[in-house]
Amino acid sequence: MLKLISWNVNGLRACIKKGFFDFFYKEDADFFCVQETKMKPEQADFEFNGYHSYWNSAETKGYSGTLIVAKNEPLSVIRGIDGLHCNEGRLIVLEYNDYYVATSYSPNAQPELKRIEYRMQYEEDMRMYLSNLSNDKPVILCGDLNVAHKEIDLKNAKSNIGNPGFSYEERGCFSALLNSGFTDTYRHLYPDRTDAYTWWSYRANARANNVGWRIDYFLVSDAIRDKIDDASIYPDVFGSDHCPIGLTLRL
């Protein structure tokens, strides 16, 4: 059995002060994928004992960044998308004998969709890249993909239509990714489950009232869809405006 955890920590050093390592060691996952680290590895005054860590940090200090912590060393480590989108630390891919593990911190479209063009380019490049990898061997993709796919994936769908994270463009790109050969593991197992969210605004007691969005995902190549054992959301784990999510596969 393969166990993976993904978590947008909204600043790893801040999250560590709020109990990150308690959850990390308790879960004992094979892979722990982190988004929005907001730091460079040389700034770390901590260690992941018993694990190997692979960073992709943004050029801008205190911004973006991804990290995969793995029990076993990969065959190769790929940062960015074929030499593109490297300066913001948005994607890491680890290659193993039988699969790839990838984590993405997908760009936010920003208020009034100011960054939607870059977001769409990132989505297209990532989809094509991961689809090509999937032709070689199965891909496990996780991370903060910054989109609620369907109305069931956020509390106030009607009032958010067209807003960042629920625009027609972003939702269409997510559909295109699924249609290119990937499965949303959580919806595969729980197609009708409501009030299942992974991010909450800091405003208006949104988390206490569970007024949230599901924008963090585990996707797998359709070739291993039948290997999905369970997909989890951990809403009671704090330390960020996102909560962790989990996946177990019979691999």
Of the candidates 131, 137, 142, 54, the residue with the CA atom closest to the CA atom of residue 96? 137
Question: Both tokens of residue 96?
Answer: 């193993």
Longest dimension (CA), the chain: 47
Of the candidates 13, 8, 48, the residue with the CA atom closest to the CA atom of residue 243? 8
Active site annotation includes 105: yes
Q: At what angle do helices 116-136 and 168-179 cross, to 10 degrees?
A: 10
Active site annotation includes 144: yes
* CB distance 34 to 7 below 8 Å: yes
* CB distance 50 to 12 below 8 Å: no
Beta strands 31-35 and 2-8: pairing type?
A: parallel
Compute the distance between CA of residue 242 and CA of residue 213 in angstroms, rounded to an integer.
9
Residue from 144, 153, 184, 216 carrying the catalytic annotation: 144
Compute the distance between CA of residue 103 and CA of residue 140 in angstroms, rounded to an integer.
8
- Sequence-distant (≥ 6) Cβ neighbours of residue 208 within 8 angstroms: none
> What is residue 214's DSSP assignment?
-
Cα atoms found within 13 Å of the Cα of residue 247, Cβ hemisphere only? 30
Residue in the structure block whose two tokens are 């090509």: 132
Compute the distance between CA of residue 30 and CA of residue 169 in angstroms, rounded to an integer.
34
Residue in the structure block whose two tokens are 């405003």: 203
Residue from 96, 100, 105, 217 carrying the catalytic annotation: 105
Catalytic residues: 105, 144
